[in-house]
Structures are given as C-alpha cells and as structure tokens.
C-alpha cells in the first residue's frame, strides 16, 4: 500500500537526521522538515481524523508554515506515525464494504471546510485520492531535504 511505503521511507529519512536538520530550510522561502511534518499532520487531522475518528478540528494552518519552526526528532517521527496510521486504518476498514463506504459523503453535515482541496460534498473516495496526491509530494520534499543535509541516506 502506497501510504505504508511513504510512512516507511519518511521515518527512515527523519531517523537519520539531527534536530538541527529537521528545523533547517534550504532557503528563506522554503519549508523545513518540521514545517512539512506539521503540515502533513494538520492535513490528515482535518481531512481524515475529524470524519473517521471523531476528533476536534484544531488545525492552525498558518503555524504549520512558521519560519524557524523547531521540532524534536521524536516529535517528527511521532507525528508522521500519527499522520499515516489513521489513513491506513481507514483503507483497511474499507475492505469490508468498499462500494458503499467509498461513495459516502462524510462532510455533508459539517461546517464548511477551510484550507482544503475538498468540499462538503466530497466522497470518501475523493478524500483518499486527494491524500494520495498530496502526501507523497510532501514526503518527497522531506526526503530531498534529508539528502541535502545528510548526503547519502541508508534504507532498510
């Protein structure tokens, strides 16, 4: 499954970095790994967890992109896990009743979505497709930054 692979490669890259590396950004306009981790977690929390796991929408998108955001390696690894595990859980649950569940519109009775490529009439299938388009781009950025900082990375 694509999300398991993204989680694996991202956690392996982050594990090889220092906390200074996690906070480092290639340019003043670029995001750091800390920014990208915070953004992934905010995105998944807002678009997946509030619907499938009934958590409150506490996202502060502006904070995700604050310049100089500092995050420990342990926090970065934990937030990556917290980001990918719910998506994997939802996809595993879809196996039991894919047709009906994929066509469900879980946002219909919620306040209008903010900062989202989705809208309140989006179906579960569209949510998962959007996650598949959005997250690998962010994880690729993190791996690229990790290579910039550490040179050759070791993969298992």
Confidence label for 136 from pLDDT (cuts 50, 70 and 90): very high
For residue range 14-28, list pLDDT tens digits in order. 999 999 999 999 999
And the tokens for 61?
A: 């998108």
For residue range 79-111, list pLDDT tens digits in order. 999 999 999 999 999 998 898 899 999 999 888
Q: Spell out a b/e string for 9-33, using b for 16 or more CB atoms within 10 Å of the CB, else e.
A: bbbebbebbeeebbbbbeeeeebbb
Least confident of 27-31, 59-63, 115-119: 115-119
What distances in angstroms separate CA 127 from CA 19, 24, 65, 107, 108, one per listed residue? 32, 31, 23, 10, 13
Sorted by sequence, the CB contacts under 8 Å of residue 99 that are 6+ apart come out as none
């Amino acid at each position: 499954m694509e999300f398991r692979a993204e989680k694996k490669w991202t956690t392996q890259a982050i594990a090889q970095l220092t906390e200074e590396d996690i906070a480092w950004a290639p340019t003043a306009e670029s995001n750091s790994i800390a920014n990208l981790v915070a953004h992934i977690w905010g995105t998944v929390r807002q678009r997946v967890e509030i619907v499938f796991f009934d958590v409150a929408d506490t996202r502060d998108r502006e904070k995700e992109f604050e310049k100089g955001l500092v995050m420990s390696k342990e926090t970065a690894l934990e937030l990556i896990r917290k980001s990918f595990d719910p998506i994997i859980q939802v996809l595993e649950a879809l196996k039991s009743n894919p047709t009906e569940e994929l066509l469900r519109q879980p946002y219909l009775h919620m306040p209008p979505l903010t900062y989202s490529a989705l809208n309140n009439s989006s179906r579960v299938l569209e949510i998962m497709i959007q996650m598949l388009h959005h997250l690998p781009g962010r994880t690729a950025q993190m791996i690229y930054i990790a290579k910039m900082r550490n040179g050759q990375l070791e993969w298992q």
